[in-house]
């Protein structure tokens, strides 16, 4: 008997309307586990290189993992992958909520979507059945209205939905996919891919009970999490959410301010998680079976910028992107921008960062009010930020240009505005600063889908003076025993970055939350992750085997990019990061380009890749059971 996985992958051809169910063998699940690695298996095998990411040739995969749906914290995660319309390399995005567990209960491990419908449709999955339904009447609707209409149409209030809003329909490269109305697969432009296929939504409902190999062992792990949560480092996420780190980041000089010109924002406390908790927070939400309850729900019932709690609330990245990035300390305006992103389906990080770029360009004179539809885009103008967010969502006026993202907008505007872009592989940087967390300079540069703050462990737990003593036992499991000097990027720090990148790659393949499972501060450690996989599947897995799964996923991503002509030359940081920061504890700090290039040499060598090109070698791919990928790349 198969435990943990449904054993069914649905193949959808939107051009022909065909729906075919594949039943992969157990070895397939043991090799790829789910999430990103499973998605990449189909993208590499079935999609030729060089296709238009917004054309019918792109393939989109929605993937769960072998432990999705288990009654334990942190497992209800969904990966969506396709060729990215932002980077034109691999696109990869995760979200939480209730959709993933419901999709597993509906009897499917993954959905592989090809082609393009000639009219809007949605996909309806229920207890092993699948059908495509007309969505003409839903096209143009915001996410809340779409969810209401589908619930009424199907006649079931318990359905779960992932959907695009008007931004995805209009192919905004910053478009996200929204789960129900408040969780988002936000990065890499997956909403635009879904819109290009005329696919409005995927709707799921399932009643199958989750089956695990060792129910008692799984129950013990779940009870352990509930018992120890209050004493864990993850506990603060429950009370203050991720925005609870605003003040600490600011105190370290690591809060991106005024388009990454500074790491210090004098009004940081005005937008902090503590201030949110004391003012506009209405309640906390959670994902399926999770004890942490980190999801914010905010409400501003009246005033010039009312905020609907249906659309959740801003997390740290969103708060920083619409707040300190833009020099804005108006928490109400930030919450409104977050609501617009959820209603229309926009990635809040890239949207806020693109607005910050526009404000920087405006202050430098590269953009004028003649370009901005009359908007005054000086840093700190909260009203203009909210207006511009909606313009991007609607592709209205200058919003049509900015919906392409800051890198493409700068390419079109020119005038020197290119020097102000803060993006890697055309994806805007998140709100953890590589000038202060030096290993992120490397990870941001080399990450296959652009700068990402959740692709490795950050520097703090492995720095002295710092928290290493507290985390030493956990890091010993990864053979990381030599804490590094603060702000360093020497071989020991590169090794730490690479090893924890493999762990995080595993987490995105097992589709587990990085606030719950991980190598340092999270609720469960890597040994407990191994025990969770054992209890669910019955497989006698080891940490070594699971690390190889994470490594397999990372190599497949690099292989996808290599096939698209993306290698070391794209693993670079924006020039603005080489300029000294101004103000706060990080005053004068900058990333060193020479230091980064040396770190890349060490990193590629540790990964077993070609140092000159940054691309995987056949020997490494063969070690990981990926000879077929080496053949696709025609490697010697």
At the top level of CATH, the class of 238-420 is mainly alpha
- Give pLDDT, residue 465: 84
Q: What is the pLDDT of residues 165-214, one digit of tens each?
A: 999 999 999 999 999 999 999 999 999 999 999 999 999 999 999 999 99
Average pLDDT (99-111) is 98
Peptide bond before 434: cis, by omega within 30 degrees of 0? no
Of 245, 280, 220, 292, residue with least CA distance to 437: 245
Backbone angles phi, psi at 537, to 5 degrees: -90, -25
1, pLDDT greater than 80: no
Give just the sign of the alpha carbon dihedral 240, 521, 226, 535.
positive
Q: What is the pLDDT of residues 565-602, one digit of tens each?
A: 999 999 999 999 999 999 999 999 999 999 999 999 99
Q: What is the pLDDT of residues 361-378, one digit of tens each?
A: 999 999 999 999 999 999
Q: Residue 581 in contact with residue 590, Cβ under 8 Å? A: yes
The tokens for 171 are 């192919």
Spatial separation of the C-alpha atoms in residues 379 and 277, rounded to whole Å: 26
Residue 487 pLDDT grade (very low, low, confident, very high; cuts 50, 70, 90): very high
Spatial separation of the C-alpha atoms in residues 485 and 299, rounded to whole Å: 43
- Give pLDDT, residue 447: 98
- Give pLDDT, residue 614: 98
Q: What element of type H or E holds 160?
A: strand 160-163
Domain assignments of the chain as residue spans, ordered by start: 9-205, 238-420, 439-632
With helix as H, strand as E and coil as C, how does 391-418 read? HHHHCCCHHHHHCCCHHHHHHHHCCCHH
Place of tokens 């404000």: 359
Q: Residue 176 in contact with residue 341, Cβ under 8 Å? A: yes
Q: What is the DSSP string of 102-134?
A: HHHHTT-SEEEEES--SS-EEEEEETTEEEEEE
Fold for domain 9-205?
Answer: Aldehyde Ferredoxin Oxidoreductase;  A, domain 1 (3.60.9)
Spatial separation of the C-alpha atoms in residues 626 and 269, rounded to whole Å: 49
- For the entire predicted model, the pTM comes to 0.98
Q: Residue 92 in contact with residue 81, Cβ under 8 Å? A: yes
How many Cα atoms within 13 Å fall on the side-chain side of residue 69? 29
The tokens for 557 are 């991503």
Give the mean pLDDT of the chain: 98
- Give pLDDT, residue 175: 98
Fold for domain 439-632?
Answer: 1.10.599
The tokens for 312 are 């959740």
Spatial separation of the C-alpha atoms in residues 357 and 397, rounded to whole Å: 17
Q: Residue 43 in contact with residue 190, Cβ under 8 Å? A: no
Spatial separation of the C-alpha atoms in residues 203 and 221, rounded to whole Å: 31
- Give pLDDT, residue 394: 98
- Give pLDDT, residue 466: 83
- Give pLDDT, residue 173: 98
Spatial separation of the C-alpha atoms in residues 208 and 126, rounded to whole Å: 10
Q: What is the pLDDT of residues 388-447, one digit of tens each?
A: 999 999 999 999 999 999 999 999 999 999 999 999 999 999 999 999 999 999 999 999
Number of neighbours of residue 411 by Cβ within 10 angstroms: 14
- Give pLDDT, residue 153: 98
Number of neighbours of residue 134 by Cβ within 10 angstroms: 12
Instruction: Specify the range with the lowest mean pLDDT, choosing from 58-62, 228-232, 463-467, 491-495.
Output: 463-467
Our CA angle for 101, 92, 263, nearest 5°, is 110
- 488: CB partners within 8 A, 6+ apart: 438, 463
Q: What is the pLDDT of residues 290-345, one digit of tens each?
A: 999 999 999 999 999 999 999 999 999 999 999 999 999 999 999 999 999 999 99
Provide the 8-state DSSP code for 430: -
527, pLDDT greater than 80: yes
Residue 22 pLDDT grade (very low, low, confident, very high; cuts 50, 70, 90): very high
Give just the sign of the alpha carbon dihedral 425, 428, 434, 439.
negative
- Give pLDDT, residue 595: 98
- 34: CB partners within 8 A, 6+ apart: 5, 63, 64, 65, 66, 67, 68, 79, 109, 110, 509, 510, 511
- 204: CB partners within 8 A, 6+ apart: 99, 102, 103, 106, 108, 125, 126, 159, 160, 161
Q: What is the DSSP string of 329-370?
A: --HHHHHHHHHHHHHHTB-HHHHHHHHHHHHHHHHTTSS-TT
Helix spans in 13-142 (H): 26-32, 35-46, 99-105
- CB environment 11-37: b (16+ within 10 A), e (fewer): bbbbeeeebeeeebeeebbebbbbbbb
The tokens for 64 are 């769960």
- DSSP 3-state helix, strand, coil percentages of the chain (rounded to 5)? 45, 15, 45
Of 71, 155, 149, 147, residue with least CA distance to 105: 71
Q: What is the pLDDT of residues 448-466, one digit of tens each?
A: 999 999 999 999 999 988 8
Provide the 8-state DSSP code for 209: P
Of 115, 35, 28, residue with least CA distance to 81: 35
Spatial separation of the C-alpha atoms in residues 1 and 176, rounded to whole Å: 37
- Give pLDDT, residue 267: 98
The tokens for 122 are 């949605």
Q: What element of type H or E holds 91?
A: strand 90-95
Of 541, 555, 562, 554, residue with least CA distance to 622: 555
């Amino acid at each position: 008997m198969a435990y943990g996985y449904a054993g069914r992958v649905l193949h959808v051809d939107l051009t022909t309307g065909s729906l075919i169910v594949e039943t992969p063998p157990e070895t397939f699940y043991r090799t790829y586990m789910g999430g990103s690695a499973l998605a990449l298996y189909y993208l590499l095998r079935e999609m030729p290189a060089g296709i238009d990411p917004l054309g019918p040739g792109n393939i989109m995969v929605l993937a769960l993992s072998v432990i999705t749906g288990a009654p334990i914290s942190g497992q209800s995660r969904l990966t969506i992958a396709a060729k990215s319309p932002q980077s034109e390399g691999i696109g990869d995005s995760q979200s939480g909520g209730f959709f993933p567990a419901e999709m597993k209960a509906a009897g499917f491990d993954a959905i592989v979507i090809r082609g393009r419908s000639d009219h809007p449709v949605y996909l309806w999955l229920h207890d092993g059945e699948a059908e495509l339904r007309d969505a003409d009447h839903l096209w143009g609707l915001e996410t809340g209205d779409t969810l209401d209409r589908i619930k009424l149409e199907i006649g079931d209030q318990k359905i779960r939905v992932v959907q695009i809003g008007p931004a995805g329909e209009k192919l905004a490269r910053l478009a996200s996919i929204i789960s129900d109305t408040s969780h988002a697969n936000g990065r890499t432009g997956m909403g635009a891919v879904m819109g290009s296929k005329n696919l409005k939504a995927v709707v799921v409902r399932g009643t199958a009970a989750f089956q695990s190999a060792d129910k008692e062992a799984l129950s013990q792990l779940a009870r352990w999490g509930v018992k120890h949560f209050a004493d864990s480092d993850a506990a603060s996420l429950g009370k203050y959410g991720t925005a609870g780190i605003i003040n600490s980041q600011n105190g370290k000089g690591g809060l991106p301010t005024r388009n990454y010109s500074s790491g210090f924002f004098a009004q940081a406390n005005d937008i902090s998680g503590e201030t949110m908790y004391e003012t506009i927070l209405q309640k906390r939400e959670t994902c399926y079976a999770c004890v942490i309850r980190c999801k914010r729900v905010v409400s501003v019932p009246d005033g010039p910028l009312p905020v609907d709690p249906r659309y959740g609330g801003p997390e740290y990245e969103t708060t920083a992107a619409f707040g300190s990035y833009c020099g804005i300390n108006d928490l109400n305006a930030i919450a409104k921008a977050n609501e617009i992103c959820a209603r229309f389906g926009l990635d809040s990080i890239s949207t806020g960062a693109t607005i910050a770029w526009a404000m920087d360009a405006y202050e430098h004179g590269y953009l004028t009010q003649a370009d901005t539809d009359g908007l005054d885009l000086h840093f700190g103008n909260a009203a203009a930020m909210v207006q511009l967010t909606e313009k991007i969502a609607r592709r209205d006026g200058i919003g049509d240009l900015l919906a392409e993202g800051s890198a493409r907008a700068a390419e079109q505007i020119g005038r020197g505005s290119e020097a102000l872009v803060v993006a890697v592989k055309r994806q805007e940087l998140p709100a953890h600063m590589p000038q202060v967390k030096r290993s992120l300079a490397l990870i941001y540069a080399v990450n296959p889908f652009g700068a990402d703050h959740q692709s490795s462990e950050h520097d703090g737990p492995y720095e002295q003076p710092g928290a290493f003593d507290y985390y030493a036992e956990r890091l010993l499991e990864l053979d990381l025993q030599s804490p590094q000097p603060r702000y360093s990027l020497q071989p020991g720090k590169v090794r730490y970055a690479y090893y924890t990148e493999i762990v995080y790659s595993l987490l995105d393949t097992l589709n587990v939350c990085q606030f719950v499972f991980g190598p340092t501060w999270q609720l469960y450690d890597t040994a407990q992750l191994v025990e969770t996989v054992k209890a669910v599947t019955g497989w006698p897995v080891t940490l070594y085997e699971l690390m190889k799964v994470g490594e397999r996923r990372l190599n497949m991503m690099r292989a996808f990019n290599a096939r698209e002509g993306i290698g070391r030359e794209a693993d670079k940081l924006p020039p603005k990061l080489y300029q000294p920061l101004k103000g706060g504890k990080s005053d004068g700090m900058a990333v060193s380009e020479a230091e980064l290039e040396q770190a890349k040499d060490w990193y590629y060598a540790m990964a077993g890749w070609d140092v000159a090109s940054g691309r995987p070698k056949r020997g490494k791919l063969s070690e990981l059971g990926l000879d077929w990928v080496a053949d696709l790349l025609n490697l010697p």
